[in-house]
Amino acid sequence: MAFTLPQLGYAYDALEPNIDARTMEIHHTKHHQAYVTNLNNALAGTDHENKTIEEILAHLDMNNMAVRNNGGGHWNHSLFWEIIAPENKGRLSGALAQAIDAAYGNKETFMEKFAQAAMTRFGSGWAWLCVHDGGKVEICSSSNQDNPLMPGIGCGGTPIMGLDVWEHAYYLNYQNRRADYISAFWNIINWNVVEAKYEAFTK
Ligand code: MN3
């Protein structure tokens, strides 16, 4: 089964002014589509062809750059589209809020640390909020299209929230102002989805 580009649950212009319509359209139809196409090409005829993307990433040969870059790209963007929404949906609450308080003291400190991880990722990459077995949460970041599901990335756990800090995610609207893009991200998080992912992992 070839991988396919997931549909978004909102229109390209629905996230404005936080993320502009042109960025969303190019990001989805060009960048993410290219990861899907290139991943399918890289897997064609191999014994990975019928595996889930999570299985592929968990047992990835990190020297296989085509699958590493494009498999990561496909998984990362699929998560990203899911955890953003035209306006904040829900609020940080429940078991996830408790886990964040346990790890970082309070929501404000968590947001600062997450923004710092996104800001200090040099070049292209992602900032993550991950959940570990037992429910502990951890912020980390990784470069390019790597993610914590891959072997040896160094920030274990399963991402339940991710922020794309590649320039292609923000440059048209924000140019070099990554900090402003990160601030805007807090306006469009779908906390209901992030919390549901936390609860699905820990139940
Ligand atoms: Mn991207």
Residue 87 has pLDDT above 90, yes or no: no
Cα of 122 to ligand 1 centre, how many Å?
15
Cα of 144 to ligand 1 centre, how many Å?
9
Q: What local confidence, expressed as pLDDT, does residue 32 receive? A: 98
Mean pLDDT lowest for which of 58-62, 95-99, 117-121, 154-158?
A: 154-158
Once rounded to an integer, what is the mean pLDDT over residues 153-165? 93
Residues whose beta carbons lie less than 5 angstroms from ion ligand 1:
164, 166, 169
Q: Does the model's pTM come out above 0.95?
A: yes
Cα of 31 to ligand 1 centre, how many Å?
6
Cα of 150 to ligand 1 centre, how many Å?
18
Largest CA distance in the chain: 49
Query: What's the CA gap between 203 and 140, in Å, rounded?
Result: 23
CATH fold, domain 20-203, is minor pseudopilin epsh fold (3.55.40)
CB neighbours (10 Å) of residue 3? 19
Cα of 98 to ligand 1 centre, how many Å?
30
DSSP for residue 6: P
The residues, ordered by sequence, that sit 6+ positions from 24 with a Cβ below 8 Å of its Cβ are: 8, 12, 13, 15
Cα of 163 to ligand 1 centre, how many Å?
9
Q: What local confidence, expressed as pLDDT, does residue 146 receive? A: 98
Residue 56 has pLDDT above 90, yes or no: yes
| Tokens coding 45 | 């005829």
